[in-house]
Amino acid sequence: MPRLTIDGLAVTCPDGTSILSAAGAAGIDIPALCHDPRLRPSGTCRLCVVDVAGADRPTAACTTPVTDAMVVRTATPALHALRKSLLQMLVGRYSAAAVADSPDLPLHRLLTDHAVVPAGTTMLELIDQSHPAIHVDLNRCISCWRCVRICDEVQGQFVWRIDGRGIESKVVPDSGATLAASSCVSCGACVDTCPTEALTDAGAASAAPPTAWTRTTCPYCAVGCEMSVGTRDGRITEIRPLFDAPVNRGHLCVKGRYGFGFTHSPDRITTPMVRDAAGQWRSVDWNEAIAAAVAGFRQVLDRSGPAAVGVLSSARATNEENYLAQKFARVALGTNNIDCCARVCHAPSAAGLKSVFGTGAATNSFDDIEMARTIMVCGSNTTEAHPIVGARIKQSVLRGAHLIVIDPRRIELARYADVHLRPRPGTVVAVLNSMAAVILDEGLLAADFVARRVDRFDDFGAFIADYVPERTVEVTGLDPADVRRAARLYAQQGPSLQFHGLGVTEQVQGTEAVMCLANLALLTGNVGKPGTGCNPLRGQNNVQGAALMGCEPHHLTGSVPLATAKDHTAGIWAAPIPDATGLDAMEMLDAAGSGTVKALWVIGWDILLTQPQTGVVRQALDQLEVLVVQDLFLNETARRCATVFLPAASAFEKDGTFMNSERRVQRVRAAVPAPGSAKSDAEIISLAAAACGWGQAFSYRQPADIWDEIRRVWPAGAGMTYARLDHPGGLQWPCPDSSHPGTRVLHTDAFPGIGARAALRRVDYRRSTEMNDESYPFTLITGRQLYAFNAGTMTSRSVTAALTGGPVLDISPGDAAALGLVEGDPVRICSRHGAATMPCRLDDGLPPATVFTTFGCPDVAVNALLGPGRDPTTHTPEYKMTAVHLTRELPAENARDTGESGRTLT
């Protein structure tokens, strides 16, 4: 390690450290304007010039690595003068008004310290206010190009470019015109790095700066980015990424960065409500609301027993709250009818991975992205649904990693892929089997690994030969040469890492398809090592946690089967746990439809809007005697069907923990108070339990107390105390004791509960019933877009709403032409189950006969189109495949349309 002297101070630092970082670590501040630790040093502004003994000229500290015995001086009169002249050049065109507006900006303090007074005037043509979230004022640009570099090097979007030369150069978005018209994905990274106020959050100029910052975890998706929430007078004013967050490393996506406005939306429900006999909501106090909810449940329990009630818990709420929800169902209501949104999402990942590897969670971590030589992304639109992971994948590929994308649509990552396989929807099993067949056919398997860690190889080999890609063309529609290329890359260019999404799981063979992914990892030795593994990209912020906490009918906390864990858990609870088999969410709704389930308690899950078969769900909910909804907003389920509404605090208003996609438990901290009398889900559940006579078993002073009970119930989490979780990045389970560092890579030596060897699975491809025929020649895929999140309750009430756009049906230009459609034409979509109408958008990234739309807009009930198809193991719905028929909607029909099934939820 080099030892050097900086301004007379002895400093030791690792090889390769720049003088700038070494000085920073020693507490010596060298002015630097083009520097950002997230970026490769560029030496553009040269303000960090220092004297190095023996050198004939001042050197840029950011680009010069330290050497042993180096003697550095950072502040001399000559350097001061040099910096002054550099500053004068940098602010040549800079607006004079800017310094007066915000004198504390580091650049402005530097100008004042160096007695530099900019003389530029504000030119209106340099201001761009087109973007809803980002304000551009190039009068304040000093040409440090940090925006250009961060957009390239972190987000991978390449939006900004430098136009012109020398003093005349300026940044322009790739549209050549406004930022709104560019390919910007609104991550805000360029704003975050800009050292002047050339790029600011829109509205920042009018908002006073925050008076407090709270570290917490993003409330949206299961990437689990850590963020700093700026608040003033009890309101969130801005959100910034955190540099020391291992997941997002100083980056956020648009939802984390700009999606907080919902918190203070005027239509947040702030008092409990009950619906009167005339169907009108009446605001009541908490006592009355809880009493009404519990009395309704009591009546059903007395009359029909615990099989007639159920709880659907929220994958948006904390671990502590989900733990309480299942304890409430089991203890206070006496039923195992408890489930969460994992059911409709990645339950097949959990089931498939658990059955093959013994643990139903991601085998590896996001940090493995940078270690993998090949990344395979199957059925995941990563850059839209998990943008921070998507950005990390892009950067890895730009540095030379290989990428395989399997998706019928040409998603953004496909542009970076070595191989993009575009199979017919619903044929994942055949595709993955074909890759496995190639691996055997061409002798690409990891023989050593297979010998040590894999079972049933011979059996599998005999079976898989039938799936060589030349034989599956009819099913998959893929060129066998492409399948062979993908298989070779995955097998030979390891370590190879898989990510998969809902294109795999929300199919009738969801669980089996996950097993096929596991087969590929086993055959090629890509499990149990850094840079490898099978990694579901889980959905909501805490869906991994909600299920693991026990919000599943057949499992208790830790995903342990009910029968195995019952006595242990009941002992800690000092309360009985029922034996009767519980129903999952799909079965509960079926049972509501047939009248056997009569009361449901739904926490943070808009089932009416997001479950398939909207009409069937509506009918089932209408038949319930009691429907309690606990949410931030009167979502569609609440608005149309609930009998009691309990207003919940949002993630910005409570303490607890979330668990991300890579088994990482991180702290959630209250940044603002809950509005009105809204309460955290934990408080609400505790009140309800107390009203059921179980107050003692649900009396906790704070979330940490609940977590301590969870650690007793769940051995793999025992080592994760709040004190330890308070550190950046929290901890990844398994973490069995307080000295355990947490686990990044699973299955290094053995598969839990299975042994050293995991068995290959023989899975045959089965056709879905959603097959095309003459009447239904198109396949509809439903999925996500960047700017809207699921039911949209949060993104539609934030700045993100302005970026979302209404629902559209994406269709290939060829199909559109054949149907006589031009962009924007309304299209009538009919499936075997329902109908809907929306405008079309031409998208050449779609294959023929395939259309795509999002869900979550209450005005168009897309889910009325979906059918009853389910994965038989987990009952996860077949959201990804519906046979439809399309017609251009004539204006005259439009008028008659409103009452029909697809148009509205009624």
Residues interacting with ligand SF4, by CB under 6 A? Answer: 134, 150-151, 155, 157, 159-160, 184-190, 218, 220-221, 223-225, 248, 252-253, 255-256, 386-388
Q: In one letter, which amino acid is 351?
A: A
Residue 295: both structure tokens together: 């009395």
* Footprint (CB under 6 A) of ligand MGD, residues 869-888: 879-880
Q: Are 647 and 272 in contact (CB under 8 A)?
A: yes
> Does residue 686 touch ligand MGD according to CB under 6 A?
no
- Among the listed ranges 132-140, 207-215, 268-276, 341-349, the one in contact with Mo ion (CB under 5 A) is 341-349
Instruction: With both helix axes pointing from N to C terminus, report the angle between 681-691 and 319-327 in degrees, rounded to the nearest 10.
Output: 20
> Does residue 627 touch ligand MGD according to CB under 6 A?
no
Among 139, 196, 314, 355, binds ligand MGD (CB under 6 A): 314
Choose between 145 and 658: whose C-beta lies nearer to ligand MGD. Answer: 658
* Footprint (CB under 6 A) of ligand MGD, residues 784-813: 784, 786, 788-791, 793
Closest distance between ligand SF4 and the C-beta of residue 63, in Å? 23
- Among the listed ranges 22-30, 209-217, 402-410, 524-532, the one in contact with ligand MGD (CB under 6 A) is 402-410
> Does residue 425 touch ligand MGD according to CB under 6 A?
yes
> Does residue 245 touch Mo ion according to CB under 5 A?
no
Cα Rg of the chain (Å, integer): 29
Q: Are 430 and 470 in contact (CB under 8 A)?
A: no
Q: Are 38 and 193 in contact (CB under 8 A)?
A: yes
Q: In one letter, which amino acid is 143?
A: S
Closest distance between ligand SF4 and the C-beta of residue 790, in Å? 11
> Does residue 433 touch ligand MGD according to CB under 6 A?
no
Residue 501 binds what, of ligand MGD, Mo ion, ligand SF4, none (CB under 5 to 8 Å, by partner type)? ligand MGD
Beta strands in 212-300 (DSSP E): 212-217, 226-232, 235-241, 273-275, 281-283
State the residue number with the nearest CB to ligand SF4: 256
Kind of pairing between the strands at 626-631 and 599-603:
parallel
User: What is the DSSP secondary structure assignment for residue 117, as one 8-state letter?
Assistant: -
Q: Where are the alpha helices (DSSP H) in 493-613?
A: 502-505, 510-524, 543-548, 562-573, 585-594, 607-610
> Does residue 341 touch ligand MGD according to CB under 6 A?
yes
Number of residues located near Mo ion, criterion CB under 5 A: 2
Among 635, 660, 661, 743, binds ligand MGD (CB under 6 A): 635
Q: Is 492 exposed, middle or buried (0-12, 13-18, 19+ CB in 10 A)?
A: middle
Which is nearest to 28 in space by CA: 46, 4, 44? 4
Residue 184 binds what, of Mo ion, ligand MGD, ligand SF4, none (CB under 5 to 8 Å, by partner type)? ligand SF4
Helix, strand, coil shares of the chain as percentages rounded to 5?
35, 20, 45
Among 142, 345, 419, 446, binds Mo ion (CB under 5 A): 345
Q: Which residue has the tokens 């066998």?
A: 480
Q: Are 517 and 504 in contact (CB under 8 A)?
A: yes
Count of alpha carbons within 13 Å of 315, Cβ hemisphere only? 29
Residue 879 binds what, of ligand SF4, Mo ion, ligand MGD, none (CB under 5 to 8 Å, by partner type)? ligand MGD
Among 855, 874, 875, 886, binds ligand MGD (CB under 6 A): 855
Number of residues located near ligand MGD, criterion CB under 6 A: 59
Per DSSP, the three-state class of 532 is: coil
Closest distance between ligand MGD and the C-beta of residue 132, in Å? 16
Q: Which residue has the tokens 């850059």?
A: 383
**Distance of alpha carbon 96 from alpha carbon 648, whole angstroms:** 48
> Does residue 149 touch ligand MGD according to CB under 6 A?
no
**Distance of alpha carbon 155 from alpha carbon 727, whole angstroms:** 26
> Does residue 360 touch ligand MGD according to CB under 6 A?
no
Closest distance between ligand MGD and the C-beta of residue 129, in Å? 25
Which residues make Cβ contacts (< 8 Å) with residue 895, sequence separation at least 6? Answer: none
Q: Which residue has the tokens 């492409």?
A: 482
Choose between 192 and 321: whose C-beta lies nearer to Mo ion. Answer: 321
Q: Which residue has the tokens 């509809």?
A: 780
Closest distance between Mo ion and the C-beta of residue 807, in Å? 18
Closest distance between Mo ion and the C-beta of residue 342, in Å? 8
Exposed e or buried b per residue across 153-162, where buried means at least 16 C-beta atoms within 10 angstroms of its C-beta: bbbbbebbee
Among 246, 310, 528, 539, binds Mo ion (CB under 5 A): 539
Residue 252 binds what, of ligand MGD, ligand SF4, Mo ion, none (CB under 5 to 8 Å, by partner type)? ligand SF4
- Among the listed ranges 75-83, 114-122, 489-497, 537-545, the one in contact with Mo ion (CB under 5 A) is 537-545
Q: Are 296 and 625 in contact (CB under 8 A)?
A: yes
* Footprint (CB under 6 A) of ligand MGD, residues 18-47: none
> Does residue 157 touch ligand MGD according to CB under 6 A?
no
**Distance of alpha carbon 133 from alpha carbon 201, whole angstroms:** 6
**Distance of alpha carbon 704 from alpha carbon 211, whole angstroms:** 26
> Does residue 847 touch ligand MGD according to CB under 6 A?
no
> Does residue 862 touch ligand MGD according to CB under 6 A?
yes
Choose between 441 and 606: whose C-beta lies nearer to ligand SF4. Answer: 606
> Does residue 782 touch ligand MGD according to CB under 6 A?
yes
Among 87, 401, 404, 502, binds ligand MGD (CB under 6 A): 502
> Does residue 416 touch ligand MGD according to CB under 6 A?
no
Closest distance between ligand SF4 and the C-beta of residue 392, in Å? 10
Q: In one letter, which amino acid is 710?
A: I
- Among the listed ranges 118-126, 339-347, 652-660, 897-905, the one in contact with Mo ion (CB under 5 A) is 339-347
- In order of 15, 31, 66, 117, 554, the CA distances from 109 in angstroms are 33, 11, 28, 11, 62
Residue 190 binds what, of ligand SF4, ligand MGD, Mo ion, none (CB under 5 to 8 Å, by partner type)? ligand SF4
Residue 152 binds what, of ligand SF4, Mo ion, ligand MGD, none (CB under 5 to 8 Å, by partner type)? none
> Does residue 379 touch ligand MGD according to CB under 6 A?
yes
User: What is the DSSP secondary structure assignment for residue 73, as one 8-state letter?
Assistant: E
Residue 388 binds what, of Mo ion, ligand MGD, ligand SF4, none (CB under 5 to 8 Å, by partner type)? ligand SF4
Per DSSP, the three-state class of 414 is: helix
x-or-dash string of contact with ligand MGD, 532-571, rule CB under 6 A: -----x-xx-------------------------------
Instruction: With both helix axes pointing from N to C terminus, report the angle between 480-492 and 510-524 in degrees, rounded to the nearest 10.
Output: 60
Instruction: With both helix axes pointing from N to C terminus, report the angle between 428-441 and 510-524 in degrees, rounded to the nearest 10.
Output: 20
Q: Are 262 and 794 in contact (CB under 8 A)?
A: yes
Residue 781 binds what, of ligand SF4, ligand MGD, Mo ion, none (CB under 5 to 8 Å, by partner type)? ligand MGD
Per DSSP, the three-state class of 230 is: strand
> Does residue 407 touch ligand MGD according to CB under 6 A?
yes
Residue 151 binds what, of ligand SF4, Mo ion, ligand MGD, none (CB under 5 to 8 Å, by partner type)? ligand SF4
Closest distance between ligand SF4 and the C-beta of residue 259, in Å? 7
Which is nearest to 142 in space by CA: 182, 86, 102, 186? 86
Instruction: With both helix axes pointing from N to C terminus, report the angle between 480-492 and 469-476 in degrees, rounded to the nearest 10.
Output: 120
Closest distance between ligand MGD and the C-beta of residue 874, in Å? 12
Per DSSP, the three-state class of 336 is: coil
**Distance of alpha carbon 608 from alpha carbon 593, whole angstroms:** 13
Rule CB under 6 A: which residues touch ligand MGD? 221, 314, 316-317, 341, 344-345, 378-381, 384-386, 406-409, 411, 423, 425-426, 428, 501-503, 506, 537, 539-540, 603-606, 610, 630-633, 635, 648, 650-651, 681, 781-784, 786, 788-791, 793, 855, 862-863, 879-880
Site residues (vs Mo ion, CB under 5 A): 345, 539
